[in-house]
Amino acid sequence: MSLRLGDTAPNFKAVTTIGEIDFYDYTEGSWVVLFSHPADYTPVCTTELGRTANLKAEFDKRNVKVLAVSVDPLDQHIGWINDINETQNCEVDFPLIADEDRKVSELYDMIHPNASATATVRSVFIIGPDRKIKLTLTYPASTGRNFIEIIRVIDSLQLTDNYSVATPADWKHGDDVIVVPAIPTEEIPSKFPKGHKVIKPYLRTTPQPNL
């Protein structure tokens, strides 16, 4: 099944490194990053999971739960976590799903046969508290993901969920944002009292409203 933006993220039950979980129960009320890695004991994946663990405080303050998926078995996951903690100077405490039957991988279309018939590609799903898929990314197995970009996207999604704004190219937390076209220019001062600029009638900016 191919999932698209705005689709409801499907629920599943899975065995993980923190015990058996129900995805909906575990992530209730949270934002979610669900991402797959092709195999345990591989170099790129080791750096990715270590980076994720070291960014725990950033994910926590954004109310984000992280889950990783691999088709490898649970005992292999547990052994690999020891290597990750040792080599990446971290403490992996988020669940790694042992998806031996590929149920989760197939549910989220993480196996692309032209890339590999058996291993997952580097998929990323950002899912909102409403269970809707907000972002999908797919990387080849050879390219490690940019987790600062993933956090940047979460910042943008959370901001635009709460205000009638969009974020421009290369936006980062603290930069000016774009007022959405649906708001007439004459209404901007009442909605965005920090001020605004009219660059073009369709391009209006304002300071980030939640700072």
Catalytic residues: 45
What's the Cα-to-Cα distance from 18 to each of 88, 92, 105, 206, rounded to whole Å?
20, 11, 19, 44
Q: How does DSSP classify residue 186? A: G
- From residue 109, give the alpha-carbon distance in Å to each of 8, 76, 171, 180, 183: 14, 23, 30, 33, 37
At 36, which amino acid appears?
A: S
Give the sign of the dihedral formed by CA 43, CA 44, CA 45, CA 46: positive
> Within 13 Å and on the Cβ side, how many CA atoms surround 157?
25
Whether the CB-CB separation of 92 and 54 falls below 8 Å is answered with: no
Surface-to-core class of residue 34, CB atoms within 10 Å of its CB (0-12 exposed, 13-18 middle, 19+ buried): buried
